[in-house]
Structure 1
Amino acid sequence: MRIVRHFVLAAGGTGGHMIPAHALAGELMSRGHHVALITDERGARIPGLFDGAQTHVLPAGRLAGGPMGWFKAGRSILAGRAMAARLYETFEPSAVIGFGGYPALPALLAATSAKIPTAVHEQNAVLGRVNRFLAGRVDAIVTAYPDIQRLKDGWRHKTHLLGNPVRDEVLALRDQPFPALSEDGIFRLLVTGGSQGATILSDVVPEALGLLPLNFRRRLQVTQQCRVEDIDRVRATYADLGIPADLATYLPDLPERLGWAHLVIARAGASTIAELTAAGRPAILVPLPSATDNHQTYNVREMVDAGGARAIQQSAFTPVELAKQMQKLALEPGALANAAKRAWNCGRPNAARDLADLVENLGPQPVGGEPIRMRPAQAPVMGRQGAVA
């Protein structure tokens, strides 16, 4: 008989932190557990997440702005820690799990002080600042990539390679075949840049498509996410080129779009790569150069090394280079389908389930037998046909 427990998940208010936490919350609640969320005001405003879970907004200052900023941040962290401690007295969590971002810091400090089992989940291939600060104190570190920068050797005994949880709608794509593509069939391209830095995609992608051979250009069908200030200009460019394009500032049906895409051009955020590998979609990735600790450059390595994606640094991301890379992938027989299979082999579709197993085993009364062990980084993942790509 499964024991019903209480868990607290703490995450900063960006999608990169909140979506994996949301996926874990859903898995834990499906097992009958109770979940509370600690976040900041941004996280509490994201629609469609953490339905059925308590939400608590804690003050959490950013450690920036010089001595005065550090002083204010310290006061906020101490206030947040006190609020979290009061929550734990009434909610009595079996474990507290942090997903990065500053709101996770006071929540986990309060948990370690109260001797509550703790874990951190790192979505990127570089251990983030808050997770680095907490890594030596927590009971478990969960990673999404086999090679993590800034992970000390002394922490590896408690490190578990489980992956990034993704939405069920994306996970459902995993069992669907790669969309058929004939030599003269419609070529569907998905371009998504998120809220940060999508202007470079709006600048480069339409011009690159205009450089493609005419017979290829006539086959294109584009869906592109654009910033508000760019969308009219991009729409006019596609109209001049005669390329059908569906443009939006937000794509609520992104999983559906991903399902029919033959190629994706995107930034290299952790959630983006997790969804590409879960669905098995080839990509051209452009790491955001201003990402903290350059983590997007490290995020692409596994997928690129496996042959599931090509990476172009932003300094080299020109229309000529993009057009060249697109032709290599799209016009060589079998190249796209092969890249899709290799991307699929990088996926870790059981991340939410495995993370929930680990979290249950953090408590004083383990559920389901032996605690989960670290996944070997070198272990191959079997493809659709049962063969390693």
Structure 2
Amino acid sequence: MTRTRHFVLAAGGTGGHMVPAAALAEELTRRGHRVALVSDARGVRFPGLFEGVQTHVIPAGRFAGGPVGWAKAAREMWQGRAMAAELYRTFKPAAVVGFGGYPAFPALSAAFAAGIRTAVHEQNAVLGRVNRLVAGKVDAIATSYQETERVKPRLRDKVHLIGNPVRDSVLALRAKPYPLLDEEGIFRVLVTGGSQGASILSQVVPDGLAMLPVAFRRRLQVTHQARIEDIDAAREKYASLDIAADLATYLPDLPEHLGWAHLVIARAGASTIAELTAAGRPAILVPLPSATDDHQTANAREITRAGGARTIPQSAFTPSELAKQMQKLGLDPEALQNAAARARACGTPEAASDLADLVESLDAPRIALPVGSGKPREVFA
């Protein structure tokens, strides 16, 4: 019988951090454990995630704005650390797991001081800033890619290749076949820029689709997630081109749209890549050039090498380039199905379960065994 334990998950308030944390929370809850979330104000209000999970907002300043900004951030981090320490005093977690983002830092710092076991999960193909700061002190580092940059060689022994957990509703798509497509049927396109949207997609995609052959263009059915400041112009553009399109600033039923999409045009955020590979959907990816350490380009590397996606740098993302790539894929149903299979092969459907196993193992009994020099080391029993 599973022994009930308490776990704290700490994550910044963006979809890239929150979605895998929510997937782990679901898995740990299924196993009979209790979970608490530590995040910022955005994270605890993230729609559709962490229902029934106790949540805690802690301050976590960003180190920006010169000396004054740094002093304010340090003060907020210290306050957040104290609040996390008080939570641990009453909740008594077996382990604290960080998913990146500034709120994870004070939460993990408090865990170090309290002697609580810790782990971090890195969603991107480049170890993030906060995870780099704490990597030397945590007990385990879970990664999502075989090649994860910015991991120091001395830390390799604590690295575990896990993958990036996705929601159950997305994982369920893995058991469903790629949507039937013939040369005359409706061609469904999903356009998404992640939780924040992407202006470049609203600017380029409608004009790119307009350059497709008329017969192909008439088959299109587009669902487009756009930023609030871009949505009206994009809607008018689609209407003027007579392209069937539904637009929204947020897609709460994204798994449903992903399920029937023949092609996805998207940024290359970690959650997007994880969902594409879980469901097995081909994509045209446009990495965000301003992403820290250019991590979105790194994220896209594996699925692109495998043949499940085509990556276009934003500097080269023009209507004509998009139209060219669309025709290469869209006019050949067999090529699309092949790309879908290759994307699926990159998926890690056991990621949530494997991450839960790792987190549970942090609380396993530890035995000190002598090694070579006679100094003890800790191993899991």
TM over 0.5: same fold? yes
Is it true that 1:297 corresponds to 2:281 in the alignment?
no
Which ranges of structure 1 fall in alignment gaps of 5 or more residues? 373-389
Match of 1:322 in 2: 322
Shift of 1:90: 1.5
Aligned CA-pair RMSD: 1.5
Match of 1:383 in 2: none
- What is the one-letter code of the residue matched to 1:255? P
Match of 1:103 in 2: 103
Cα offsets for 1:227-268 (capped at 9, x unmatched): 222222222222222211111111121111111110000001
Shift of 1:92: 1.1
Aligned residue-pair number = 369
Question: 1:235 and 1:63 mapped to 2: Cα distance?
Answer: 38
Asked if structure 2 preserves the Cα contact closer than 8 Å seen for 1:192 and 1:265, the reply is: yes
Match of 1:88 in 2: 88
Cα offsets for 1:138-180 (capped at 9, x unmatched): 0000011111111111111111111111111111100101011
Q: What secondary structure sits across from 2:222 in the alignment?
A: strand
Cα offsets for 1:71-122 (capped at 9, x unmatched): 1111111121122112112111110000001111011111111111100001
Match of 1:221 in 2: 221
Q: What secondary structure sits across from 1:47 in the alignment?
A: coil
- What is the one-letter code of the residue matched to 2:206? P
Shift of 1:196: 3.7
Cα offsets for 1:205-236 (capped at 9, x unmatched): 11111111111111111111112222222222
Alignment of 1:310-349 (within 5 A): 310-332=310-332, 334-349=334-349
Name which of structure 1's ranges 128-137 and 227-236 shifts more when overlaid on structure 2: 227-236
Alignment of 1:261-300 (within 5 A): 261-300=261-300
Give the TM-score of the pair, scaled to structure 2. Answer: 0.94
Asked if structure 2 preserves the Cα contact closer than 8 Å seen for 1:195 and 1:227, the reply is: no
Q: What secondary structure sits across from 1:321 in the alignment?
A: helix
Question: 1:348 and 1:133 mapped to 2: Cα distance?
Answer: 27
Alignment of 1:247-258 (within 5 A): 247-258=247-258
Question: 1:346 and 1:251 mapped to 2: Cα distance?
Answer: 24
Asked if structure 2 preserves the Cα contact closer than 8 Å seen for 1:197 and 1:288, the reply is: no
Is it true that 1:165 corresponds to 2:165 in the alignment?
yes
- What is the one-letter code of the residue matched to 1:182? D
Q: Segments of 4+ in structure 1 off by > 3 A?
A: none
Identity %: 71
Question: 2:152 and 2:21 mapped to 1: Cα distance?
Answer: 24
Which ranges of structure 2 fall in alignment gaps of 5 or more residues? 367-378
Cα offsets for 1:120-139 (capped at 9, x unmatched): 00111111110000000000
Asked if structure 1 preserves the Cα contact closer than 8 Å seen for 2:95 and 2:118, the reply is: yes
Asked if structure 2 preserves the Cα contact closer than 8 Å seen for 1:126 and 1:149, the reply is: yes
Asked if structure 2 preserves the Cα contact closer than 8 Å seen for 1:358 and 1:371, the reply is: no
Alignment of 1:6-21 (within 5 A): 6-21=6-21
